[in-house]
Structure 1
Amino acid sequence: MSFLPVPREPLHRVAVTGGTHGNEMCGIYLAQHWLQAPEELRRASFSAVPILANPAATAACRRYVDQDLNRSFTLTILGSTATPNDPYEVTRAQELNQLLGPKGTDRAFDFILDLHNTTANTGVCLISEASCTSFNLYLCHYLQLQNPGLPCRFLLYDPPGTETYSLNSVSKNGICLEMGPQPQGVLRADVCTQMRALVASILDFVELFNQGTAFPAFEMDIYRCIGSVDFPRSSDGDLVGTVHPQLQDHDFEPLKPGDPIFKLFSGEDILYEGDSIVYPVFINEAAYYEKRVAFLKSEKFQVSVPALPGLTSSSPVAP
């Protein structure tokens, strides 16, 4: 699998965004804390900017007001002419694009770290788009080395035939830190503490990269989304079953053909009919009911990542 080149200049313009979804509480409260205490995000070569991404949804403790903000950063939406009747998240996406972008230009931020929570049992998951995968692989490997007892999985998410639409796609390089399980509208101390520590490690990695640290070659398992599976439904679209107990909470574990995936309300089991092993992700995620997704399917494969030489001394360093 081939990846785009890693950036060869320091990443000085860095943002940490929380509250892209207004009921995912760790990123919200961490962003609000850092807005009052930004020194926690400072490193020698840069100071990350904390941003509360969706303040209206946060105030209402809802995922979004009018539409999903994290699906609103396509060039089509960002380039549309503003009108008074625009959905709130369209207006907010355009504001964030002006602040952190514009998307696809040299003026865009170097790196955006977007913080999310899920109700699914994903643990620590880094979600990357293909355009940023090379740099993010080194970042993920660094986190794995720093936290040997903490599984940190790498999910490549690039739906074919669609524009990139996430908040972190506005920057030249970006990644989503997804952590769960945590209920919507709930702040769990253990998840929040862990996220805060991981943010610190991610900023430490950016600092090491900026200062010219070389990173050795390695091999790593990654997961790539290949589709989604909806709940069993009636002809009217109503649920007639839910995620099977043998699948629930088993994110990133192998699902074999013939394994149960749904339990119908009538008591019958629905079995997985695929022709190969897949790895379900975001199993029974609360926010995906409206998207008609019971879980995402991913394939697992190993990549060999070459050594990354350090930046040259001629690369500019921020004052």
Structure 2
Amino acid sequence: MPSTVSANPLHLVAVTGGTHGNEMSGVCLVKHWLRDSSELVRDTFTAVPLLANPKATENCVRYYERDLNRCFTMDILSSPELQDEPYEVKRAREINRLFGLRGSTNAFDMILDLHNTTSNMGVCLIISEAQRHLEMHVCHHIQKHLPNYNPRIYLYAEPGVELYDLCSVSKYGIGFELGPQPQGVVRADTLQTMRTLVQVTLDFINQLNQGKEFPAFEADVYQRVGHVDFPRAPDGEISAVVHPSLQDRDFSPLHPGEPAFLSLDGKMIPYNGDQQIYPVFINEAAYYEKKIAFIVAEKIRLSIPALCTTGGQGSP
């Protein structure tokens, strides 16, 4: 790994909310910025706000016909449009065109996508993979400047799985996942935290554009490696719920044999894996339909090289 990587200045930046229409912090902030975008203006660029899924937002639902944040695969983006295809498939192509086409030189430099979760994730910074050094530097910058928020870095892409989220349209992207917050509800404290995250990130981009160099660092990340479903009866119905001792303990270690579920007849069901894991998105409301009780992550310590603007060594 090089001691320093370089990046071109970032000028095309978008802030998206309402990718899931009932995650209200991003919805409210983006609607505000569409009326008055002065908060998004910096010396070297101006970020563009976008309400990603207007139909879902209007109906205050996660999605209208299909989860928009799973619609940005190359297969979907490159396939011909059909009249009767889901609204979110059409919307994904619109966003892809708006932001310059995924993988092209004209693609936006960065997207900040704003999300809420019903899980106790606190402040979670989501990127696709650890090799995204510029994104890792943004996350580290947030951790340094907002230590009271205890931000964690979550890598959502499993090896060999194609990227599918809205952020994959741009050259770089970060999802801000804040919780717990109920679906369809906005909490002032959560909204203000999200607002601060956006401001600190835009400040980082501005400093990078102005030539500031950022030193190497080490950081812990949580890498997704799979998921665990609820125990189910033969008819497919849920037969046990998340155990009280696991509930709200996102990012905490879970060892084999420790309580994971509580059956509806009152029996403890242990985690039956063969090694320690770090559950995240525990009991996320939107994941019931995906048959996910929690995401399985492993905790990894990474060394990230220094970052400078174009002219340094290597590439991000």
TM-score normalised by length of structure 2:
0.95
Paired residues in the alignment total: 311
Measure the CA separation in 2 of the matches of 1:6 and 1:78: 30
How far did 1:160 drift? Answer: 3.3
Unaligned runs of 5+ in 2: none
The alignment partner of 1:57 has SS state of helix
Instruction: Pick closer, same or farther for the CA change 1:20–1:76 going to 2, 3 Å.
Output: same
Q: Which residue of 2 aligns with 1:8?
A: 7
Name the structure 2 match of 1:222: 221
Q: Residues 19 and 53 of structure 1 are in contact (CA less than 8 Å); yes or no, is this contact kept in structure 2?
A: yes
Match of 1:301 in 2: 300
Is 2:98 the counterpart of 1:99? yes
Counterpart position of 1:210: 209
1:193 aligns with 2:188: no
Q: For each residue in 1:242-272, what CA deviation from the matched residue of structure 2 results, as whole angstroms up to 9, or x when unmatched?
A: 0000000000001011110000001111101
Distance 2:290 2:204 in 1: 35
Q: Deviations over 1:3-51 (max 9, x none)?
A: 9x95521000000000000000000010000001111101011000000
**Aligned in 2, Cα 1:105/1:166: closer, same or farther, shift over 3 Å?**
same
Which residue pairs with 1:316 in the alignment? none
1:175 maps to 2:174: yes
Cross-structure match for 2:269? 270
- Change in CA separation of 1:67 and 1:131 when aligned onto 2, cut-off 3 Å: farther
- Counterpart residue type for residue 169 of structure 1: S
Aligned-residue offset at 1:101: 2.6
Structure 2 Cα separation of the partners of residues 294 and 7 of structure 1: 40
**Structure-2 residue corresponding to 1:37:** 36
Q: How does 1:62-211 map to 2 (within 5 A)?
A: 62-130=61-129, 133-211=132-210
Structure 1 residue 310, shift from structure 2 partner:
4.3
Distance, in Å, in 2 between the alignment partners of 1:146 and 1:131 is 21
Work out whether residues 5 and 308 of structure 2, in 8 Å CA contact, stay in contact via their aligned partners in 1.
no
The worse-fitting range, judged by mean Cα deviation, of 6-15 and 217-226 is 6-15
Q: Give the distance between the partners of 2:251 and 2:133, measured in 1 at CA.
A: 21
- AA aligned to 2:143 is Q
Provide the C-alpha distance between the structure 1 equivalents of 2:79 and 2:131, rounded to a whole number of angstroms: 25
Q: Deviations over 1:40-95 (max 9, x none)?
A: 10101100000000000000000001100000000100111112101000010010
5+ residue gaps in structure 1?
314-319
**For residues 200 and 310 of structure 1, do their structure 2 counterparts lie closer, same or farther at Cα, with a shift above 3 Å needed?**
same
Shift of 1:100: 0.7
Q: Give the Cα–Cα distance (whole angstroms) in 2 for the partners of residues 296 and 245 of structure 1.
A: 17
Q: Distance in 1 between matches of 2:130 and 2:13?
A: 17
Q: Deviations over 1:256-312 (max 9, x none)?
A: 111100000011111011121110000000000000000001000111122223445
Shifted more, 114-123 versus 160-169: the winner is 160-169
Determine if contact 2:6/2:307 at 8 Å carries over to the other structure: no
Give the whole-Å Cα distance in 2 for the aligned partners of 1:70 and 1:64.
9
4+ residue runs over 6 A deviation: none
C-alpha RMSD of the superposition = 1.6
Structure 1 distance, partners of 2:80, 2:169, is: 18
Aligned letter for 1:261?
A
